Amino acid sequence: VHVTGGQLQISFPHALAGEAIISAIAISTLNRHVIPAASSGGVIKNFKAEGPDEKKWSAQSWLDIGDQAYADSKTCFSQLPPVLFGADWIRTPDNNKGYPGAAFNVDVASDVYVAMNSKPENLPTWLRDYSATGLSLQTDENGGTNFALYKKRFASNSQVVLGSADQKYTVAVLPVTTLPPAIDLKKSIKYGTDGATATDGAVHDTLDGKRVVRFAKLAGGEVTFSIAPGVADKYDLRFKYHNDSARTLTVNMQLQAADGTVMKSEELSFKPVKKNKTGTLATTTGTSINAGNYKVILKAVDAKGLVISGLEMQ
């Protein structure tokens, strides 16, 4: 392709998730007198570390598997989530405990990722307003050590301050893009009806040899799924169902925490689907929920004949 105007746009309008892959793009010319443009230097600007280990901190570019993770260690990155490949990043000391840390500026709106082997509730104070992504990277230390990935978005010309921690961590920085989030990369957990409870007019049944729950009464019946998200995040909830009637059937969904607190209440409408076909109704937890145990309760409002075959959480 011969590019004029300095911009190349590539799109895959009919590709499904994971079917379109670009491995590399080469820019070349037969004109040997062309002078390549100077590097922009990445999005990390004015990087400065403090303390006795300041020389062990350094700004790097093009994060990749095999890169040395820490300044004073031979530990390397063995696995990276796709979003981090090619990111600008900061190589930190192997031990950050008790040291002031470092700071830098971003000259464009950027997402700052911090990888740390810590649960959200145990993060140091300076990381408390970062959100869990549900992603992780891995180093080759001890046969493979996972580091949970936390993210915060910073506006253009913002300063990012990194503090001390009781353990090692890695920082990666990427400019904000208009690409949609890669939701298909998030772990999906399926809950069948075998583990669900059915009461007051909702009964366990089979359909085409599979276990389901059927609402046998117009109103009042309840189906309860127990879910256990592993990290704090906002989750998608997708219900698999059958409704071969000619009407839209409704239930009230409640998301309850372990102590009974109602995190979300919403009326769901299950539209008719063809006989022997499965429908999907999608909603969300509404807000970020912490790791732990929760109940998803479906209570019939006008639901006689509705069949629930499962719940998927992503």
Structure confidence at residue 256 (pLDDT): 95
Q: Buried b vs exposed e over 282-300: b needs ≥16 C-beta within 10 Å?
A: ebebeeebeeeebbbbbbb
Q: What is the pLDDT of residues 51-66, one digit of tens each?
A: 777 888 999 999 999 9
Structure confidence at residue 227 (pLDDT): 96
User: At 64, which amino acid appears?
Assistant: D
Structure confidence at residue 8 (pLDDT): 84
Structure confidence at residue 280 (pLDDT): 94
**DSSP characters over 43-74:** SEEEEEE-STTGGG-EEE-S--TT-B-BTT--
Length of the chain: 314
Structure confidence at residue 17 (pLDDT): 57
Rounded CA gap, 200 and 215, in Å?
Answer: 9
Q: What is the pLDDT of residues 115-142, one digit of tens each?
A: 998 888 888 999 989 988 878 999 999 9
Rounded CA gap, 50 and 9, in Å?
Answer: 42
Per-residue pLDDT in tens (0 to 9) along the chain, 314 residues = 888 887 888 888 776 655 677 777 888 888 889 888 777 778 999 999 987 778 889 999 999 999 999 988 899 999 998 889 989 999 998 876 666 779 999 999 999 999 998 888 888 999 989 988 878 999 999 989 999 999 999 999 999 999 887 888 999 999 998 766 555 566 789 999 999 999 989 999 999 889 999 999 999 899 999 999 887 778 999 999 999 999 999 999 999 999 999 999 999 999 999 888 899 999 999 888 888 899 999 999 999 999 999 999 98
> Which DSSP symbol is given to 76?
B
> 43: which 2 tokens?
């999005």
Rounded CA gap, 158 and 174, in Å?
Answer: 14
Candidates 300, 242, 308; CA nearest to 273 is 242
Structure confidence at residue 232 (pLDDT): 73
Structure confidence at residue 133 (pLDDT): 84
Q: Say if pTM beats, i.e. exceeds, 0.85.
A: no
Structure confidence at residue 98 (pLDDT): 60
